[in-house]
Amino acid sequence: MATEVKVPTLGESITEATLGQWLKAPGEAVKADEPIASLETDKVAVEVNSPVDGVMGEQVVAEGDTVLVDAVIAIINEGAAASTAATPAVADRNAVGQAEAAAPAEPASAPVEEDDGDPKTLSPAVRRVVLEYGLDPSKIKGTGKDGRLTKDDVLLAAKTQKPAAAPAAATPAPAVSAPAASFAVSGERKEERVRMTRLRKTVAARLKDAQNTAAMLTTYNDVDMTAVIDARNRYKDLFEKKHGIRLGFMSFFAKAAVLAARDVPAVNASIEGDEIVYRDYVDISVAVSAPQGLVVPVVRDADKLSFAGIEKTIADFGRRAKDGTLKMEEMKGGTFTISNGGVFGSLLSSPIINPPQSAVLGLHRIEERPVVRDGQIVARPMMYLALSYDHRLIDGREAVTFLVRIKEAIEDPTRLLIDL
């Protein structure tokens, strides 16, 4: 008996997705509720599970194809025996957007045998990093769902393992002749063309739209992190023992942003048509790194959460972003964004607004710098802050005031406790 596998409902207003990766090959045994494919939407990756026990049959669409909600993407043969040889996927019958489908599709991933003999499939992003560093994926421990390799797994292995010999190119690169007075090119040079994921295309479009729509401006300040670092070091063990979560810096900045938004409500507002929407709540979008790219889940009612509540929510988002299990509804409705480029080593940047929000706070790395305190030059752990804002709604005075309130709360965390 054959059972059709269809694209599930993807969420409000989302009608299509891209088949990002097949997790099962034709001929492989599958169990009910076991993931067989990964779909990429405008916001997150969604796994499609097998509805029954059986054997993977036809793959009706190819990786990179666009599919509609409720379209058939595969066939599961119930009661059939698993085959050692995989049958080729048939031509796409449910893809839409023929112009996009005409572009060269990403080749199907090859199974990789891990040490326990369980075949795994590399996603296109992971495969690119494996080839770039010349690593043997079978020797890398996967931390993703069901033990699959993530991009972070490969990057970590690249730092600790001795790279294997890089595979030879299928065809030699064309020779490049340079004028005698110009430059010379020696050795083999490679290029790879990879289709943009739906998430990356959506991010690109939204960022460009933000630049085209908002009158965007950025103001900067710096903050002395001494008091927060001292408080964290003093209470981190007790905090973790009581709440089961580490005390980080993000909860301090989230609380400081809530406090500042009460004095400058325009930063937490947005423009809708000819109206300005002011809010008595603060939903903070927190930028989180995921294998598919940067995602921005929302900490709901951050103004009502405790430090522990904020830390637990952000930690949960971080784990599920790496696993690809964030839900689309968790990405919607933020009123203000905090982006921490400091975890990647950024010293200073100008973040871009996340529409329809009107402001975003950029955090950066902490480093000791000389500052003057009481007439003396001393070293202090300093961080640059950047607030990008929509000048159509937020005046320069309001933006500077908001950033100063953040600075005051971080340099004197007692303000966060007494709401000052």
Is residue 274 part of the annotated active site? The answer reads: no
pLDDT at 180 over 90: no
Mean pLDDT of 402-415: 95
Mean pLDDT of 300-323: 92
Selected catalytic residue, list 70, 146, 391, 412: 391
pLDDT single digits (tens) 206-248: 778 888 888 999 999 999 999 999 999 999 999 999 999 999 9
Q: In what order do the strands lie in the sheet with 35-40?
A: 45-49, 35-40, 16-22, 66-68, 95-96
Mean pLDDT of 196-204: 76
pLDDT given at position 151? 74
Q: What mean pLDDT is reported for the chain?
A: 81
pLDDT at 11 over 70: no
Q: How far apart are CA 32 and CA 23, in angstroms?
A: 14
Selected catalytic residue, list 263, 395, 412, 419: 395
pLDDT at 89 over 50: no
pLDDT at 99 over 80: no
Is residue 395 part of the annotated active site? The answer reads: yes
Q: How many Cβ atoms sit within 10 Å of the Cβ of residue 74? A: 24
The two beta strands, 376-390 and 367-373, are antiparallel
pLDDT given at position 58? 87
Domain ranges of the chain: 1-107, 109-175+186-195, 215-418
Confidence of residue 346 (pLDDT cuts 50, 70, 90): very high
Mean pLDDT of 28-46: 81
pLDDT given at position 116? 39
How would CATH label the architecture of 1-107? Answer: Beta Barrel (2.40)
pLDDT single digits (tens) 140-163: 888 776 677 787 788 888 877 654
pLDDT given at position 392? 94
Which is higher by pLDDT, 21 or 292?
21
pLDDT single digits (tens) 63-77: 878 888 888 989 998
CATH superfamily of this structure's domain 215-418: Chloramphenicol acetyltransferase-like domain (3.30.559.10)
pLDDT given at position 43? 63
Which is higher by pLDDT, 418 or 394?
394
Mean pLDDT of 325-338: 88
Confidence of residue 165 (pLDDT cuts 50, 70, 90): very low
Confidence of residue 112 (pLDDT cuts 50, 70, 90): very low
Closest to 21 measured CA to CA, from 56, 48, 52: 48
Q: How far apart are CA 336 and CA 285, in angstroms?
A: 6
pLDDT at 111 over 50: no
pTM for this entry = 0.61
pLDDT given at position 184? 63
Q: Is 309 left (phi over 0), alpha (psi -120 to 50) or beta?
A: alpha
